[in-house]
Structure 1
Amino acid sequence: MKLVWTQIKNFRSIKDSGKIYFNPNLTILAGKNESGKSNILKALECFSLDKFNKDTDFPIDYIEEEYPEVIVHYQLEEDIVIDLCDTLKINKENAHKISGVTVTRTSEFLESIEVDIFKDTLEYVIDAVGEAIKVINRELKRTFKLDINSKSSYLLSDLIEKIDSYLLTIKEFFNEEQSNKLNSIIEEVVSHLEMLNGFSDYISDKKFKATIPNFIYFSSFEDIIPDSISSNEEITPIVNRFFKVVNQNPKLLFDESNPQRRRLLSDKISAGISGDFMDYYSQDSVSLKINLDGDDLNFFVYGTDTQKPFQPRQRSQGLQWFLSFYLTLQAEMKTGSVLLIDEPGLYLHASAQEDLLGMLNNLSDKSPIVISTHSHWLMDPNRLERIRLVLKVNDQTQVENKIHKGADAYTMKPIFSAIGLGLNNDISTFGERLILVEGYSDYYYLEAMRYYFQEILGIKIKKFKIYPCLGSAQIINVLTLLVDSETEYFILLDNDKAGRQTEKKLKAECGIDENKILFTPVKSKNTSVIEDMFSQKDFSEIILDSLDTNKFDKVLVSKKFNERMHNNEITILSDETVSNFKEILDVVATPKFSHREN
């Protein structure tokens, strides 16, 4: 299952979110407090529970027929698509048409499930029935009308029943001779109607229902590992997750009466949980151990002094939270659920938040994760395409998939900080080496190509940061923050009139050495922008592949390319493209490229 987008309507502060596009692995909802980030996560939780609370989930100004609605669109795995083709006797050449599924759940009606090929089939059936009705009206001079269409909100079973009734009506109006004129139309409608019936049965099956994304909500303020639990008390969600991770049945553990066996089980569980946990937590050397004492299971946290046990509540809130969060992630990853995490890491020090981001990066490869945050430590400057801005406009939550649009300075602050520009002019976060670029499309293309050189071609590149200045004129403003700093910087400009004018200003007003100013390479034209660094074939067949060029947005195109590159969907680019980018990276990433040693 691959999540694609969600749309939320009439839920709490959300009137209509528009389509919120998921990153395939880690999606970050960034926004200031009270912007509505948590409401997006809660809406997705309600989708999975298929339950909306009228007291808490309906808008304050709720009016009739504006009920909460959550739509989720995802793509089926290849094996499910093949099974669906076999079941419905669909030509596998058309398999790509049926991979998309849209599920709508509301507080008022039963869920609606649409599969892409179902839409095509339904439109065909409705058109065919309409044709039959036109023949009736012509032959009998009637005005028999068709009152359904492909955008109808009917449930599938209702549609099938309604089309069936139209067929019966059509047959009633005609004698045998007249019916012959309609036979081919009716036969075609019946064959497609059989497919709709088969599809209706298929999507009701448990196997298909299991493909629908399941969202699990985790709050940063709850679900903390307890000091102990008793065999006769209800097991809390976090303890349940603990037993999922260690693959043990708590009842069997409590029922074990042999002291030696109890000790062996406890030691085995403790060793497994501590080893995995320390792979992610670098703040301190700790281990989690359990001890069975009669009907009680006790949790202990040990530090470097392995002789002194502490109860979890005796350790910092940060460690308690990180441990509980680790258990939650590990447990839910095993179920294939999409984890929704509200404000992770509030209790964590900056370096511990970096540990947390590492864990999120690692585990989101196995199953998608969606987090809400306003911490720049959880925004990887190399992966800004993951960020979705959550804004509050006229007391209503809106989501912007483009981080370069619509946000105020406060909302953008953590993003600026992540890529090296704090609003307090703290230049220390720029790092040792920096390249200033004109805009976000330059940023995304360079990030993608840095990944390509390092991970695909296996070429070492010295670490550097990329900062988008939102226009060549703003580069001078950013440079004022770098004066007398130890950051080595370069400036990449478009090779056009505006870029050449900026070059003159940089030299005249800022005294910038011309060796620090780079231009996009010019080959056969007098001017060039970063898109021209790709060969024509790469740009049309790889970058623009599967995109709607009628709605061309250069930043979204570059963002999609970066996303696909990091997901290893692109593995081969032309020599021309590689050569053009190498000219830039050779300078920025000195010393010169050298192949990795095997």
Structure 2
Amino acid sequence: MKIKWIEIENFRSIRERQRITLNSDLTVIAGKNESGKSTILQALKCFNEYEFSEDDSSFSNERAEPEIEVCFELDAEELLITDNQEYDVEENSKFELIVTRSDVSYYNGEVIDLGIKPFEENIKELLFKIKQVLNDNLIGVVPNDLINNKDLENNDEYLFKQKFNSFLKSVPEDTQNKYLTEFDSIKEMLKNIEDEIEKKDYFYDCINSILPKFVLFDSFTDILPNSFTNKDEKQKIIERFFSITDCRSSNLFEVNGQKRKQLSNRVSANISGDFNDYYHQDTVKIKVEPDGDDIYFFIYDKDEEIPFRPEQRSKGFQWFLSFYITLKAEEKNSILLIDEPGLYLHPKAQKDILALLEKLSLDNQVLITTHSPYLIDPDYLERIRLVNKVNGLTKIENKFYKGADKDTLTPIITSIGLDITKNMTFSNEGNVIVEGISDYYYLSAMRSFLGSQCPIKDTINIIPSVGATQSLNMIALLLGWGLEFKVLFDNDREGNRAAKKAKQNFDLNDEDIVMISNANDDQVEDLFSEDDFINYIIDDYIEKNGTKNSSKIRGTGSDKVLISKRFKERINKGDITELSDETIQKFTSLFLKLSNRKQSPALLLV
């Protein structure tokens, strides 16, 4: 069972109803500090426990009840949770179940329509038949308020039954005998109604039994202690520790001597081997060492004899160890909620965290909050949901390239930049320096699109800088290494100024410096035809800014980079298979200039 979306209303800093859609595996809630990221996780914790406190009411509307709504998606097998009925559904079908929790809890969606509606229809039909018996045979025998009972019209079987039974107690025996058939008929139908209600309640019980639970990992409290006694063994982190070692902590208090030592060694070996598969900063041994009434945890470094208590290790190590224990211990069909994972860890260790999260997400949906670029995989930006605070209230945006300020987008931009620089290499056969990351994405995407028809060789690397001025530093670097290169500048004021300095400072000729086009103020986006730009570049961006003009997004660096990244991903996935002749000709012409090959007259552009 997966979650499709969550809606939150009147909960802490979220006042107006906000929806957040979830990926089937890993969802990343990104935003700066105090934006309300943790509020989303706390809302799901309250949903799971079905308990709201006074502090959970919206800051701006304390009188309104918090409401959390979760849309689950069930497959056909999960739908078959009761033997009361069978469903005529296709094997690969998916069905929505919407659970709402506030001061009351109620259910909606296709699952309820399929599972509950038949019982409700049977109850409704039985109540209608009761009304017919009253109207056809018992007028003048039972009170008019029972015949014209509003509870029957409202399908409230409980109140009608209560009033009917109360009436029977006052009916003389001879009257009951005279109308025995009618009264017995009503009693029988009321009993059938009770059976239908029991089936309905059983169905709800089955639904509740298969709902996934939400497990919230608190980075600051769920830390493995130095030791524990048999009085402490019910601590959650200790229970989780032993659950992943196939041993109960109580076993260590039930045996003595050599058996106790053997058992503790087995537990230590089980936990250490698996932990080191995920933790790559160092090889460690985690040992459980009993001493009288106490069980101690010790951490040994590789080839070291000196033991360290957990509290003597770094905050980062303590966090990673407890994080690993908590998530490995949780059973399948759990939704894992992790607030700011790896807060104490350095970048390399945070990448280990991301690898662990991705592995866990194969069996469990994972939802994390972060403002770290190292927990954002540039190849999966669709995982990101942005959270921003506007006038003190939290706003959620499900599209990573829309609706957030510069600070909120910073970790995403950084992760993209890190991804590029991490894989960046220089070629002896040729390099192209471009002004920025968006130029890199558009040119890389179009080189992929053109394939074998692209004039620029695959061995020529495209290297992004961080602006026209900084491209000069790249020029100096490549000249120092004796590598061949060309520099691509926008045909705007900054690009022309940088091109002039490049010629003066480095004695470059006209062939080494290429302008994006001959048209004044042109940037890379202007190489697309108007239709291609609208349909493939800013199709969703129009909703945000209401513009169809590429110049409107030139200065908005965050949007510009993310939109270009999205275009490259769509090209790579094969979502875009056709572009206009105008677009193809302009990019082909540019690639010819960058490749030193002669341009065909058919490709000359006016």
TM-score category by the smaller chain? 0.5 to 0.7
Q: How many residues align?
A: 465
Distance 1:466 1:69, change over 3 A: farther
Following superposition of structure 1 onto structure 2, how do residues 179-258 of structure 1 map, counting pairs within 5 Å?
A: 200-206=200-206, 208-233=207-232, 235-257=234-256
Alpha-carbon displacement from aligned partner over 1:332-366 (angstroms, at most 9, x marks no partner): 2x243111111111111121112111211222222
* Unaligned runs of at least 5 residues, structure 1: 137-147, 149-157, 166-192, 454-460, 468-475, 494-500, 534-552, 588-598
Work out whether residues 76 and 211 of structure 1, in 8 Å CA contact, stay in contact via their aligned partners in 2: no
Alpha-carbon displacement from aligned partner over 1:156-184 (angstroms, at most 9, x marks no partner): xx98637998xxxxxxxxxxxxxxxxxxx
Farther-moved stretch of structure 1 (41-50 vs 288-297): 288-297
Distance 1:489 1:389, change over 3 A: farther
Aligned counterpart, 2:369: 372
CA–CA distance in 2 between the matches of 1:279 and 1:465? 36
Distance 1:504 1:349, change over 3 A: closer
CA–CA distance in 1 between the matches of 2:204 and 2:70? 18
Distance 1:30 1:490, change over 3 A: farther
Distance 1:308 1:67, change over 3 A: same
Aligned counterpart, 1:37: 37
Work out which of the residue numbers 339, 347, 350 in structure 2 matches 1:350: 347
Structure 1 residue 100: Cα displacement: 0.9
- Highest Rg: 1 or 2? 2
Following superposition of structure 1 onto structure 2, how do residues 499-514 of structure 1 map, counting pairs within 5 Å?
A: none
CA–CA distance in 2 between the matches of 1:490 and 1:57? 59
Secondary structure at the aligned position of 2:241 is classed as: helix
Question: Could you state the TM-score of these two structures normalised by the residue count of structure 1?
Answer: 0.64
Work out which of the residue numbers 77, 88, 92 in structure 2 matches 1:91: 88
Work out which of the residue numbers 141, 148, 156 in structure 2 matches 1:161: 156
CA–CA distance in 2 between the matches of 1:200 and 1:357? 43
Aligned counterpart, 1:484: 473
Distance 1:414 1:95, change over 3 A: closer
What is the identity, as a one-letter code, of the residue corresponding to 1:406? Answer: G
CA–CA distance in 2 between the matches of 1:262 and 1:211? 38
Structure 1 residue 502: Cα displacement: 6.2
Q: Given the alignment of the two structures, is residue 102 of structure 1 paired with residue 91 of structure 2, yes or no? A: no
Secondary structure at the aligned position of 2:260 is classed as: helix
Alpha-carbon displacement from aligned partner over 1:433-484 (angstroms, at most 9, x marks no partner): 89967599979x969x99xx9xxxxxxx9999999xxxxxxxx974544443
Secondary structure at the aligned position of 1:318 is classed as: helix
Structure 1 residue 201: Cα displacement: 3.6
Work out whether residues 507 and 513 of structure 1, in 8 Å CA contact, stay in contact via their aligned partners in 2: no
Aligned counterpart, 1:300: 298
Aligned counterpart, 1:289: 287
Work out whether residues 417 and 429 of structure 1, in 8 Å CA contact, stay in contact via their aligned partners in 2: no
Q: Given the alignment of the two structures, is residue 112 of structure 1 paired with residue 109 of structure 2, yes or no? A: no
Distance 1:278 1:114, change over 3 A: same
What is the identity, as a one-letter code, of the residue corresponding to 1:260? Answer: Q
What is the identity, as a one-letter code, of the residue corresponding to 1:255? Answer: E
CA–CA distance in 1 between the matches of 2:276 and 2:408? 34
Q: Given the alignment of the two structures, is residue 26 of structure 1 paired with residue 29 of structure 2, yes or no? A: no
Distance 1:513 1:99, change over 3 A: farther
Distance 1:320 1:341, change over 3 A: same
What is the identity, as a one-letter code, of the residue corresponding to 2:266? Answer: K
CA–CA distance in 2 between the matches of 1:164 and 1:504? 78
* Unaligned runs of at least 5 residues, structure 2: 133-149, 161-192, 427-432, 452-457, 500-511, 518-522, 538-547, 549-558, 592-606
Work out which of the residue numbers 303, 325, 349 in structure 2 matches 1:327: 325
What is the identity, as a one-letter code, of the residue corresponding to 2:7? Answer: Q
Work out which of the residue numbers 386, 410, 426 in structure 2 matches 1:389: 386
CA–CA distance in 2 between the matches of 1:417 and 1:241? 35
Work out whether residues 118 and 196 of structure 1, in 8 Å CA contact, stay in contact via their aligned partners in 2: no
Work out whether residues 7 and 16 of structure 1, in 8 Å CA contact, stay in contact via their aligned partners in 2: no
Distance 1:95 1:329, change over 3 A: closer
Secondary structure at the aligned position of 1:298 is classed as: strand
Query: Identity rate of aligned residues, in percent?
Result: 35
Question: Could you state the TM-score of these two structures normalised by the residue count of structure 2?
Answer: 0.63
CA-atom RMSD, angstroms? 5.3
Work out which of the residue numbers 409, 413, 423 in structure 2 matches 1:412: 409
Aligned counterpart, 2:10: 10
